Amino acid sequence: MSELNLILIGPPGAGKGTQAERLQRDLDVPFVSTGEMLRANVKQESALGKQAKRYMDAGDLVPDDLIVKMARERLQLEDAQDGFILDGFPRTLEQAEALDEMLSGLTRRVTAAVLIDVPDAEVERRLSGRRVCEKGGHNYHVEFDPPKRDSVCDEDGSPLVQREDDKPEVIRRRLAVYHEQTEPLISFYDDKGLLRRIDGTHDAADVHDHIRAVIATLRHEENV
């Protein structure tokens, strides 16, 4: 396979970041997220970064055209020539169509869109149970990885808190946005024959194995 260009899709809490990091190590291709692109451009004070910072400072969403321009620049860097893993972009149908157009202009294409499928109830269970150490940022989960003492960090004895975006009402709002804006991408890529579904309710190692199997199948199909 000449290049492997993957998009990860899934609700918040599906484990996309975890899987992207594992795949990055396996495949030696960059993991590119919207946040990473924005932070890099703002830090470098690039022309695109300066434009994006004005929106961010005002508390507004960075427009799609700016995100697409950043993606175009990022995906032309040397480390992305053998492929890339996208997480958080595209987030909407408009962004997906813009990405296709942009890649076509570079004589490239999306290899597959991998959906890490997790039901809403499981997302809420995962995210609402997370607790973070106020001092050192150590992470726990009340069900999957609890501290030895309730609400106290094992490392430094600091209080454990629930982040604002892990509260149930906030999680439900995030899921509503996902269903409205991002879930249509499932049909978009399915219609193109590019969607691959992974059951994200299994543990991270199993999900990783399933994604690796999908990649192996893609490579086999190309060589047949």
Task: Point out the residues of the chain with pLDDT beneath 50.
Answer: none
pLDDT at residue 195, as a whole number: 97
Catalytic positions, written as ranges:
16, 91, 130, 163, 174
Per-residue pLDDT tens for 63-77? 888 999 999 999 999
**Cα–Cα distance, 101 to 109 (Å, whole number):** 9
Predicted local distance difference test score (pLDDT) of residue 1: 55
pTM comes to: 0.87
pLDDT at 220: 83
pLDDT of residue 223: 73
Quick one: pLDDT at residue 208?
Answer: 97
158 assigned to some structural domain: no
- Condensed to tens digits (0 to 9), the pLDDT of residues 143-190 reads 999 999 999 999 999 999 999 889 999 999 999 999 998 999 999 999
Residue 99 domain flag: yes
Q: What is the CATH number of the domain that holds 101?
A: 3.40.50.300
Q: What local confidence, expressed as pLDDT, does residue 222 receive?
A: 76
In a domain, 115, yes or no: yes
Asked whether residue 200 is assigned to any structural domain, the reply reads yes
| Domain contains 192 | yes
Is residue 201 included in any domain, yes or no? yes
| 214 domain residue, yes or no | yes
Q: What DSSP string describes 124-182? A: HHHHHTEEEETTT--EEETTTB--SBTTB-TTT-PBEE--GGGSHHHHHHHHHHIIIII
Tell me, what's the pLDDT at 224?
56
Please, are residues 134 and 128 in contact by the beta-carbon 8 Å criterion? no
Domains contained in the chain, number:
1
Determine the pLDDT at residue 22: 93
Full residue range of the structural domain in which residue 105 is found: 4-30+77-119+182-223
Question: What single-letter amino acid sits at 164?
Answer: E
Residue 189 lies in a domain: yes
CA distance 49 to 40: 8
